[in-house]
Amino acid sequence: MPAVTVEFTENLAIITIDNPPINATSHAVRSRLVDALADIGQNSAVNAIILSCHGKTFIAGADIGEFNQPARDPLLPDVILALEALPIPIIAALHGTVLGGGLEVALGCHYRIASATTRLGFPEVNLGLIPGAGGTVRAPRLIGAENAISLIANGKPISAATALDWGLIDEITPADNDLLAAAIAFANRVSSLPCPPALATATATVTSHRPANIDWESLIAQTAQRARGAVAPVIAVKTVRENLGLPADQALAHERQQFVALRDGEQSRALRHIFMAEKNVAKLPVTRDITPTDLATIGIIGGGLMGAGIATACLLAGYDVVMIERDEAALASGHENVSRHLQSSLKRGIISPSRFDQLLAKLTGSTDYATLAPTGLVIEAVFEDFAVKKDVFASIAATVGSDTIIASNTSYLDINALACSVSSPERVIGLHFFSPAHIMKLLEVVCTDGANPQTLATALSFARKLGKIAVPTGVCDGFIGNRIMSAYRKQCEYMIEDGAYPEQIDAAMTDFGFPMGLFAMQDMAGLEISWKTRQRQAATRDPAERYVALGDYLCEQGRFGRKTGRGWFIYDDAKSPPRPDPDVTRLIEQESARKGIKRRPFDQTEIINAIISAMQREGDKILQEGIAQTADAIDVVMINGYGFPRFRGGPMFMKRNQASSA
């Protein structure tokens, strides 16, 4: 099937793009579009053109794969100029996700009609780019600079209703209507009218071409602050601003120049890497031909922090949930936790009041494991204690069918050993959610040694339905993420004994792009949990390994972090930022002296290099042991679970880059 076809019916030409999966503007589409326009030009009977797409979406953007190759004519900006210059009206019929280059093509058409569920946007900044085919020129001229900037610099799509409100589209047709029929009716209405002027050059359509009320300097400053080191959003705002003052041809050339510079830069390469890594990370050869088991009801054991979050995620994804707790009081509290999460989804407009009631009605609770009978998957999220989890696994296995998958949300315990404690260990798996479980996108799917492909395929499909990025990992202490975090925490602790200070390390990390430094993060989580873990591990710790006891000393003084007003830092009140504490400085210096360490200065570059190298060394070990399938999987975990700055591509991407530029 050619990527672009043209059908002539009466006085209309209907162009259909068919380039699955997302109708990207790949080279074949661009060149066939140019041919199609030439064919139409030969047909003098045509008085209107419809541009539509086959499949689940209108064009959702340029083909990201082509960005790594030399550009091939015709380029998208030229194709759009050709569309715009047509002397007969061209109507874009929009459905699905009209994104990036797709929206730019639509803006090159004279009219836009959209199905009601369509979403439209410029997600280029998420790939470290700005629109490169006229988006920064045509969008402000059509919908005003402010709306255009919010689309282009935030990268978030808008609904068809908002697009109509802003004037980005001309008409909405109900979702269950035939979009093509609606576009034909629209075309018949406008075919006898004079063709509207091209958007890029027209001034008549400009609603606020040169808005006087934008405070550009503060807008740029705010954008830079939100972007935390990512350059594209700031360049997006600046480019829109500069383009407002330029004639169309110069504005288009200026945009292209900015686009190409970003496309060839480090940040966009990193962001494209992570975009594709996220798409590919859950593709396991062993599950390729397996049809996942359909799941309708999920059992959750434990309604605490994690259990309630997991239950909420399952409800929001459309599953029925059975929650089991130790006693009625704990069950009531678990129910309350879920209700609170759903209420916050309601407040944020994610669900409607009637949906809230429906979802809560799909949650049932009990202290009796017999109620788990209808479940296809049971996830335990009880205390992090092997004996407790083993008992819970035995109770689950005694009730459910032998093909019900049993999953553990353990952070560190040996799931292989848990699997061996039940019959049919091939249905046991780890599902390591991140807190808050109904919000965080990452889910480590821990593949036990015995888990069979059916279990893996079903777990991965379940994760997809929850909207999670599932990263398969092997069994080890801390899986991928917590294991790397542990190596990085140790590296930070060594540096403070050797001469750095917590505030210096945290500042280096936030400058690098992390939302928070390690020590502020520990203070936020509470220091006592890891203190208790260290106490438990004391007897088995390798005496030859360097041990930093500073965190223990803080806990011995009752400094458990933010909730006690003191930890590594001082907190003046619940919301105040961390403030360095001279007592902690003294404690650190005394400890260095006690260990005979001569403290030395560290600069930001050394701190960051040491942290990234520690992550990379641990990442290499994880790969050698087969815990992660690929280096990309490690990047996906660190970015989606631990705040590693996305625009840097992840520690393993940085390692590859360092090696290739050495």
Q: Which residues bind ligand NAI (CB under 6 A)?
A: 301-307, 324-326, 330, 381-384, 388, 392, 409-411, 432-433, 435
Instruction: Work out whether 153 is an interface residue with ligand 3HC (CB under 6 A).
Output: no
Instruction: Work out whether 72 is an interface residue with ligand 3HC (CB under 6 A).
Output: no
Q: Based on CB atoms, which residue is closest to ligand 3HC, 102 or 502?
A: 102
Q: What tokens appear for 120 in the block?
A: 């439209």
Instruction: Work out whether 62 is an interface residue with ligand 3HC (CB under 6 A).
Output: yes
Q: Binder to ligand 3HC among 124, 493, 497, 506 (CB under 6 A)?
A: 124
Instruction: Work out whether 101 is an interface residue with ligand 3HC (CB under 6 A).
Output: yes
Instruction: Work out whether 108 is an interface residue with ligand 3HC (CB under 6 A).
Output: no
Residue type present at position 214: I
Minimum Å gap between C-beta 654 and ligand 3HC is 22
With beta carbons less than 8 A apart as the criterion, state whether 262 and 231 touch. Answer: yes
Q: In what order do the strands lie in the sheet with 4-9?
A: 4-9, 12-17, 48-53, 90-94, 111-115, 171-173
Minimum Å gap between C-beta 276 and ligand 3HC is 6
What is the DSSP annotation of 180-236?
HHHHHHHHHHHTTSPPPPPTTT-STT-SSSS-TT--HHHHHHHHHHHHTT-SHHHHH
What is the DSSP annotation of 576-644?
SPPEE-HHHHHHHHHHHHHTT-------HHHHHHHHHHHHHHHHHHHHHTTSBSSHHHHHHHHHHHH--
What is the DSSP annotation of 290-324?
PPPPP--EEEEE--SHHHHHHHHHHHHTT-EEEEE
Instruction: Work out whether 128 is an interface residue with ligand 3HC (CB under 6 A).
Output: no
Q: Based on CB atoms, which residue is closest to ligand NAI, 55 or 304?
A: 304
Instruction: Work out whether 314 is an interface residue with ligand 3HC (CB under 6 A).
Output: no
Backbone angle region of 409, left / alpha / beta, with phi > 0 → left and psi within -120 to 50 → alpha: alpha
Q: The tokens 């590296």 sit on which residue?
A: 491
Question: Cβ-count burial of 194 within 10 angstroms (0-12 exposed, 13-18 middle, 19+ buried)?
Answer: exposed
Q: The tokens 């079903």 sit on which residue?
A: 458
Q: Binder to ligand 3HC among 4, 76, 496, 500 (CB under 6 A)?
A: 76
Q: Binder to ligand 3HC among 93, 127, 183, 300 (CB under 6 A)?
A: 127
Q: Based on CB atoms, which residue is closest to ligand NAI, 64 or 440?
A: 440
Q: Based on CB atoms, which residue is closest to ligand NAI, 311 or 382?
A: 382
Interaction partner, residue 444 (ligand NAI, ligand 3HC, none; CB < 5-8 Å by kind): none
Exposure string (b/e) for 557-596, b if CB count within 10 Å is 16 or more?
eebbbbebbbbbbbbeeeeeebebbeebeebbbebbeeee
Minimum Å gap between C-beta 228 and ligand NAI is 23
Minimum Å gap between C-beta 113 and ligand 3HC is 20
Q: What tokens appear for 135 in the block?
A: 């988006």
Minimum Å gap between C-beta 76 and ligand NAI is 44
With beta carbons less than 8 A apart as the criterion, state whether 365 and 303 touch. Answer: yes
Minimum Å gap between C-beta 515 and ligand 3HC is 23
Q: Binder to ligand 3HC among 30, 48, 83, 104 (CB under 6 A)?
A: 104
Q: Based on CB atoms, which residue is closest to ligand 3HC, 131 or 619?
A: 131
Q: Based on CB atoms, which residue is closest to ligand 3HC, 280 or 533?
A: 280
* Other beta carbons less than 10 A from residue 272's beta carbon: 20
Q: Torsion angle, CA of 453/459/461/465, rounded to 10 degrees?
A: 180
255-284: which residues touch ligand 3HC (CB under 6 A)?
Answer: 279
**How far lies 267's CA from each of 273, 295, 312, in Å?**
10, 40, 35
Distance of CA 69 to the CA centre of its chain: 26
**How far lies 114's CA from each of 23, 102, 172, in Å?**
16, 13, 5
Q: Based on CB atoms, which residue is closest to ligand NAI, 385 or 606?
A: 385
Interaction partner, residue 136 (ligand NAI, ligand 3HC, none; CB < 5-8 Å by kind): none
| 41 Cβ neighbours under 8 A, 6+ residues apart | none
Q: Based on CB atoms, which residue is closest to ligand 3HC, 464 or 621?
A: 464
Q: Based on CB atoms, which residue is closest to ligand 3HC, 30 or 335?
A: 30
Minimum Å gap between C-beta 305 and ligand NAI is 4
Minimum Å gap between C-beta 369 and ligand NAI is 9
Q: The tokens 């400085």 sit on which residue?
A: 585
Minimum Å gap between C-beta 126 and ligand 3HC is 6
* Residue with the CB atom nearest ligand NAI in the bound state: 304
5-24: which residues touch ligand 3HC (CB under 6 A)?
Answer: 21-22, 24
Instruction: Work out whether 60 is an interface residue with ligand 3HC (CB under 6 A).
Output: yes
Binding region for ligand 3HC (CB under 6 A):
21-22, 24, 60-65, 76, 97, 99-101, 104, 123-124, 127, 129, 131-133, 135, 279
